[in-house]
Amino acid sequence: MEALPTVETAIKLGLLPEEFDRICQLLGRTPNFTELCLYSAMWSEHCSYKNSIVWLKQLPKDSPRMLAKAGEENAGIVDLGDGLACAFKIESHNHPSAIEPYQGAATGVGGINRDIFTMGARPIAQLNSLRFGNLNTDRTRWLVRGVVKGIGDYGNAFGVPTVGGEVYFDDCYQINPLVNAFSAGILRTDRIARAIAYGAGNPVFIVGSATGKDGIHGASFASEDISEKSTERLPAVQVGDPFQEKLLLEATLEIIQTGCVIGIQDMGAAGLICSTSEMSAKGKHGMKIWLDRVPTRQSNMKPFEILLSESQERMLVVVQKGKESLIKEIFDKWDLNCAQIGEVIDQDRLLFYMNGELVADVPASSLVVGGGAPQYHREYREPAYYQEYKKFDINSVPDLKSSQEIAQVGKFLIAHPNICSRRWIYEQYDSMVGTANVGSTTPSDAAVVNIKGTDKNIVITVDCNSRYVKADPEQGCAIAVAEAARNIVCTGGQPIAITNNLNFGNPYVPEVYWQFVGSILGMKKACERLGTPVTGGNVSFYNQSTPKSGNGGVEFAVFPTPTIGMLGILEGWQNRMTLHFKQAGDLIYLIGQAQNDIASSEYLYSYRGVKASPAPAFDLETEYALQQSVAAVIGSKLVQSAHDVSEGGLWVCLTESAIHGKRGYQIQLPQDSSIRTDAYLFGESQSRVVVSVSPEKQAAFEALLRQRETPFTLLGKVREDGKIIINGQEITTVEEVTELYEGTLPKYLD
């Protein structure tokens, strides 16, 4: 008879000593090794949100459109009207991608799409948010190539287009890259599938791929710092098969259509134990499971290996008793495994058997969020750098004095890896497969995807400037929400909801946890003001290298990166707004007001080399008013283009519109001595949008903004000849900046 595990065993599995004691109390005995493994996985941060849930509960979750709220299902669901809904979510695959970038990124794409189609929704579009270290290093180039190829190969083969995203580079991501995958799917409101189990005697099936030893303890692996020993954790990285997932998608949607499915859940983090426990707890039932009936890839797999395996392309399905042959016929047709491995029982127990022997007996509710899983109020403390950043004085940086200096900075920024064209990346993705992607050739601030057979379009974007969040978590995260909404508004859409991916360092470091708490507070206030409730998402802590010495504080963590994935709706594709200049002679306006501010700008950080400054100027009420006014001028058909001012400031905004429109521009900077030249052109103060207006619509455009009391400035006009002229001086040409803009990533990565 094997010896029962001790507290030392629990600690090795990632549990705290007090958690081991709590498990003993819940069970009324000492757990066996298999049972302890189950708690280790389910009580890891990645599954239980034990260090974050107390703050996540504060986020706004309600709106008239909400059909599945945060935490209720595999993904959030929002009503689009006319019997249609959108399921969407974002999740991370950071740690696996740091170790094995191709499979790490590919399985991230596979996992997020399974979350969508287990709801009964057909995925129609993907986005991704990527963060890497220094592009001058071989490791970063290896990671970028692997991650991009993994995303492209899986998404292209699976048949769902990647329609947009974001990529940033900073030294803080050198050890810990961030790979956040977003997916959106469409379903009928009367065909929503739930992740639930009830009805004693109803059969439980495992469907899809066979279960192997890949991904075991993947959830626990995602809940620890990256260290030199992390490369030994390759078995914790899952292996994906997009062709198998395509079959699983079709079979899953087909069984949901039959109406005989009680509940269905993807096997993602923590595998079989996660889906059995969460579905049972939600339905206030339990399950009896025979592990020897699970189709496996390797022989003699141990019970804990079968339960914790995160092998991809698998689902747990509970169907109505008597419908067993129907589900088997459908999965046989798609040539997929379909094995009945258990049944629902009318008690709060999960009973796992192996060859007739009971190997684990635990209460389902004891494993999950809202049940027995612990919830902690962690200590948080303002880091010393925060007040230091606030001491930044703009006068310590010399202003730009000449057109030559303006040209030098402008060319530096348009070629910067954080600003330049992402063509090298997105050309490896299929943006058109299986969909009607409206915006593939004419860019907008957000992606627009048509819902086939309708005049409706979803508008989607992912946004976060993590440098802003590092400087001021509350302000920076509010800006991330605001910019996502601004991008949707500039595309002609109406923002309706968000999902989030909260990437932070170690939550046990008080300064890191302070960044997390501040970000939640900023997200809360911005979502409430902009009317974009949170549908769910993912928390990814431990994006932090383990130092060889030192206290392991914020200096070893990534920038706090609360990535915002936002969904908007656009009725009528003809109402979509693009960002490129359309014709010579159009007038160029700035809506909103520039501030004398260069804080946290790419110009200050990268060109001037000043790393310590606060977040850029931002006021939530000003932002709300601006978005309402931009929506009004777009809705009234008074503008030709719209593009929000973000990274790189006004200069990059104008120049991107020129590059994509293949037309030049001329502008005159206001003679306002209170705003410096570098602040006006390269500062990143928020709540500004550049639009172009036909001369015949100038009067109506200005009248509408005056009526709304929205500040605006006539900057200049679009040119046919490709010259870029500021204050009467030719700075550069569209041809020259296009070469810089398009040439950066190929230079590093080809």
Identity at 192, one-letter amino acid code: I
Q: Enter the DSSP assignment of 512.
A: H
Q: How would you write 628-668 as a 3-class SS string?
A: HHHHHHHHCCCCCEEEECCCCHHHHHHHHHHHHHCCEEEEC
Give the other-Cβ count within 10 Å of 346's Cβ. Answer: 12
Residue 271 tokens read as 């595998």
* Residue burial 224-261, b: 16+ Cβ < 10 Å; e: rest: bbbeeebeebeebbbbbbbebbbbbbebbbebbeeebb
CB 36 within 8 A of CB 9: yes
Residue 191 tokens read as 């065909």
Q: Enter the DSSP assignment of 698.
A: H
The partner residues of 521 in beta bridges, in order of sequence, read: none
CB 573 within 8 A of CB 457: yes
Q: What is the spatial distance between Cα 740 and Cα 402, in angstroms, rounded to a whole number?
A: 21
The partner residues of 354 in beta bridges, in order of sequence, read: 357
Residue 268 tokens read as 């993602």
Q: Choose the catalytic residue: 93, 217, 580, 660.
A: 93
Lateral strand order in the sheet of 723-726? 641-644, 689-693, 587-591, 712-719, 664-667, 723-726, 729-733
Q: What is the spatial distance between Cα 667 and Cα 340, in angstroms, rounded to a whole number?
A: 69
Lateral strand order in the sheet of 436-437? 436-437, 447-450, 456-463, 561-571, 494-503, 534-540
377 as an active site residue: the answer is no
93 as an active site residue: the answer is yes
Determine the number of helices (DSSP H) and then strands (DSSP E) in the chain. 25, 26
Residue 89 tokens read as 């979510």
CB 532 within 8 A of CB 494: no
Residues taking part in catalysis: 46, 93
